[in-house]
Amino acid sequence: MSARAGFALPVRRRQPGKTIAVLGITAIVVLAFWSIDVNWARLADLPGELLRYGGLMFAAPNWEKLPEALWQTWRSLEMAWVGTILSILIATPLSLLAARGFGPTWLRMLLRGLFSLIRAVPEIIIAIVVLSVTGLTPFTGALALAVNGVGTLGKWGYESVEAVPRGPIEAAHAAGGTTTEVLRWGVWPQAAPAFWSFWLYRFEINVRSSAVLGLIGVGGIGDMLTSYTQYREWSTVGVLLIVVIVVTVLVDWASGTIRRRITRGRIARAAQ
């Protein structure tokens, strides 16, 4: 119909770069599967093995270890809390300096590169480096969580600052405010709900990560879980898993509820 009306159909643009990238990624994935020495025939036995070990862990849990499991879980929560507080104290001012318009270009690029570098290193690798100085203590796990949290909170922070409406910022500048005053009165009232939400979400992440850090012996429920798994005491492992799951779900629920209240409160205030 378009041809009869005298209109030429648009020519679809070729994107050789995109095609090459897709083929390259596909080749890498295929080669990765072929290079892994996996006994694919054992996958058929996986459901049965899961049922067998599930029965060993949860058929008759060893509830005598519950008090110790709760105590070690509390130590993991302390580790996560201290790591979150330290990362907030360090990342918040750095994220403000990394935001466009509030810090020199060289410092902004340096901080953003630092945040990216930190995020590229898992918490467990950071903990292995830190423990050479602090030893195998819960404080080692807290420091590892704090360092990793600086990377994520720093990125989330400067993105939140750059996303706030420019009106109050321009008004603070027009009134002769300094950079500190502009951040305090033009940026922070708008960005604070997002910052609080990110801080709570980071605490959720740290709670889960603290259990993983216990695998290298820094304490907490993860350390206890590793020990009893190595000795094949499955009834105790079942109790530990129940405690970990329940505590993690409760922390996620509480944090999510608070974050929703903060976010909805900001929306409600904006609508008034």
Condensed to tens digits (0 to 9), the pLDDT of residues 93-126 reads 999 889 888 878 899 999 999 999 999 988 888 8
Helices (H), 135-233: 138-163, 167-174, 179-182, 188-213, 221-230
pLDDT for res 150 = 93
pLDDT in tens, 125-144: 888 888 888 777 888 888 99
CA 139 to CA 137: how far, in whole Å? 5
Percent of the chain with pLDDT over 90: 16
pLDDT for res 8 = 62
pLDDT in tens, 72-87: 889 889 999 999 999 9
C-beta of residue 148 within 8 angstroms of C-beta of residue 203: no
C-beta of residue 214 within 8 angstroms of C-beta of residue 225: yes
Beta strands in the chain (DSSP E): none
pLDDT for res 114 = 93
Instruction: Domains for the chain: give ranges and CATH numbers.
Output: 60-271 (1.10.3720.10)
* pLDDT of 233 higher than 80: yes
* pLDDT of 11 higher than 50: yes
The model's confidence at residue 12, banded by pLDDT at 50, 70 and 90, is low
C-beta of residue 103 within 8 angstroms of C-beta of residue 97: yes
Tokens representing 176 are 């002769």
